[in-house]
Structure 1
């Protein structure tokens, strides 16, 4: 039986429950460097956490219970992963969607992450973390492409025509390669902002989750 004191304790509001995982406030989110950036890479480049991020981004806000049912993960595991993502600015609470204090709603929070593993000393733990994050990022993209190749044939013709795969091998200077990387990144960021703004103006328009993935790097002939 609950004591009178315990029975009268009010439930904590969602904003209070999420305080322990509130985003780190030292420095700008998206501009982390050094060990802070390593913490971000470790948080995000975990297959389950990245999956949860993408579910929220594509399917919209959800409760911990909804995500647990969607992924077949334990509720406690989902809460733990969301707490880690919240701490590093990838998701945020959506308390206005809760019907009562028991519900814990979350939404995606778009943010950028960029890094270079060679910024860390060769042979160091930091270098290994950054390199592992890059490898996991590549594996994630490969899984996405494999899924498209397996399911794309059943997509509507207009969807298949809108998709593209491009591969170019061109002799270029390092400066030209850097310029292509800069221009491509700016184009994708600008396009993403336009899509986000249009969604606000035309919320009823039919939309697809579109993934943009490209790599610009030196490459000799690839042996079959």
Structure 2
């Protein structure tokens, strides 16, 4: 990973590239794996290697992923990695363009659908997880009355907490501490609504 910061997406081409459901799945799986080949990712998403390779190249064209150093002995397989810690889309970058706003909405819907599917899968498989993991899982909803500034501050604080835990886990894994670690999805939404 080249950058420890989120990649801020502001252009239509990149928004359209990441809005594609298969590309989003590949990006997410690559982020979790940290490095992978098209063959490894194709197995995870149950698609043909040629199709996965095509979509990986599209993600690379938009700077969302990049080639990683060769990790196999023969050096024939191409390894990929995310080019940044993650991606972000800011309303102020898309609000004045109907095309950008529509593409941003498409990204949001793709992400929401995949997050919901991931959570449904956990609920379906919940009883297969050990007691400690079932007890540790989180599902809550809060309905505070906030100002826009308070919601923005809350989001920044939550992101800082999650980044702290993620960076500590990455450092522990790099030091060889992998015992008992699992991939964990934390989905947070904060938005205004009217009953």
Q: How many residues align?
A: 193
Among residues 1, 6, 10, which one is paired with 1:34 in the alignment?
10
Q: Following TM superposition, by how much is the alpha carbon of 1:167 offset from its aligned partner in structure 2, in angstroms?
A: 0.8
State the distance in 1 between where 2:91 and 2:149 align.
20
- The alignment's TM-score, normalised by the length of structure 2, stands at 0.82
* Higher RCO by CA contacts (8 Å cutoff, separation 6 or greater): 2
Higher Cα Rg, which structure: 1
Among residues 86, 92, 106, which one is paired with 1:112 in the alignment?
86
Q: Following TM superposition, by how much is the alpha carbon of 1:44 offset from its aligned partner in structure 2, in angstroms?
A: 2.4
Cα pair distance change 1:175/1:202, threshold 3 Å: same
State the distance in 2 between where 1:188 and 1:131 align.
24
Q: Which runs of 5+ in 1 are unaligned?
A: 1-22
Q: Following TM superposition, by how much is the alpha carbon of 1:164 offset from its aligned partner in structure 2, in angstroms?
A: 0.7
| 1:56 alignment partner in structure 2 | 30
| 2:158 alignment partner in structure 1 | 184
Q: Following TM superposition, by how much is the alpha carbon of 1:146 offset from its aligned partner in structure 2, in angstroms?
A: 0.9
Q: Is this contact kept in 2: 1:89–1:111, CA < 8 A?
A: no
The aligned runs of 1:138-153 (5 Å cut-off) are: 138-153=112-127
Cα pair distance change 1:31/1:158, threshold 3 Å: closer
Q: Following TM superposition, by how much is the alpha carbon of 1:33 offset from its aligned partner in structure 2, in angstroms?
A: 5.1
**CA RMSD after TM alignment:** 2.7
Q: Following TM superposition, by how much is the alpha carbon of 1:125 offset from its aligned partner in structure 2, in angstroms?
A: 1.4
- The alignment's TM-score, normalised by the length of structure 1, stands at 0.73
| 1:172 alignment partner in structure 2 | 146
State the distance in 2 between where 1:51 and 1:133 align.
12
Cα pair distance change 1:169/1:177, threshold 3 Å: same
Q: Following TM superposition, by how much is the alpha carbon of 1:206 offset from its aligned partner in structure 2, in angstroms?
A: 3.0
